[in-house]
A = this chain, B = another copy of it.
Amino acid sequence: MRAERQRMDKKKSLGNVETRYATFAESPHELLLEGGQKLGPITLAYETYGRLDADKSNAVLICHALSGDAHAAGFHPGDEDPGWWDAMIGPGKAFDTDKYFVICSNVIGGCKGSTGPSSINPAAGKPYGLDFPVITIGDMVNAQRYLIDHLGIGRLLCVCGGSMGGMQVLQWVASYPERVRCAIPIATALKHSPQQIAFDEVGRQAVMADPEWREGDYYGHGQPERGLAVARMIGHITYMSDKSMEEKFSRRLKEKDYSFQFKTDFEVEGYLRYRGDNFVKRFDANSYLYITKAMDYFDVAGDSLIPAERRAETRFLVIAFRSDWLYPLYQSQEIVRQLKRRHADATYCEINSTYGHDAFLLEIEEETHLIKHFLDKTYKGYNVR
């Protein structure tokens, strides 16, 4: 079933794609961060799929989650797997590249080509480490705005993303409402609850407990792999649901003998270790710290999202998943409540899924159905105007 879907995806795939880089080195493009510090020059890694209309009205910005990157769709030459949301982006897909110009950029603070703690600090000639300033979701969005300016786009047809991507969607509306025609925040929140902060904090503590972390100054020595793997394992539990774990692993044993001495015996343990070990090969530990902090600081509740005096012009499609206990339904419902209070045009959709928070990456059919229609309608309305 999944193999078949994969083949289908390949057929409709964008084929080979390429990551590009834009550097904003000039002084106006030195980013003034919400924390008051300046960061620059900054580089953003990004990819684009499809073609920008003559009137530049068909641009869709996709925002990635905690561990994502600019490579949202298509294949990098030689790679087995396509980009992280390939099933949603391509010819005929939810974000139909025959119609739309799709952009995805790696967030600042990240480690996939955009400026982050593992980048060279020009003032010091070595990686920033903890000299990298605190960044916020607002800073990430401000950096993306440079890119959108750079691409010559005034107003985005749509900004869409799940989890931390959804926070960026909300932040775009809060910071640049006139530049967002429609917004699709998925499986996200106006702000983290203490439980969400707590899970992030334990992940950070796991990283910082690893002596290989060296107070963030580990570049050239190798990553704090064990701590980061533990952090990722905690994350994975929260991305799944009790039910999806039951369906995937139940209590099946990998190996069991009574002389085990804490080797892997349940399948779920093997899975978590595998995911943890894999993660450390592709993600920078300091980026993990900075990005999770940005999520914890994020808070557009109250008047921050849409000020009281302003009527929202942006159309909204808010999507949540019933088994998502990391970003529970009530958080998406609260987004909708605040939008309705501002008389925004907001549609709320709950998708039945057992996948938990991961559902935003997996419930392709349902999401396609909702998004394709919503986007087409917004696009047509836009062109009629």
Contact = CB atoms under 8 A, between A and B. Distances in A.
Interface of A: 33-37, 130, 133-134, 191-195, 197-199, 201-202, 204-206, 208-211, 226-227, 229-230, 233-234, 236-237, 240-242, 245-246, 248-251, 258-262, 266-269, 272-273, 276, 289, 293, 296, 299, 325, 328
A178 to B, nearest CB: 28
A209 B210 contact: yes
A230 B251 contact: no
A63 to B, nearest CB: 23
Nearest to A205: B230
A260 B134 contact: yes
4 closest residue pairs by CB, A with B: A35-B258, A209-B226, A194-B245, A194-B268
Contacts of A191: 251
A233 to B, nearest CB: 5
Nearest to A301: B251
B245 A230 contact: no
B250 A194 contact: yes
A229 to B, nearest CB: 7
Nearest to A269: B201
B197 A237 contact: no
Nearest to A252: B194
Contacts of A242: 193, 195, 328
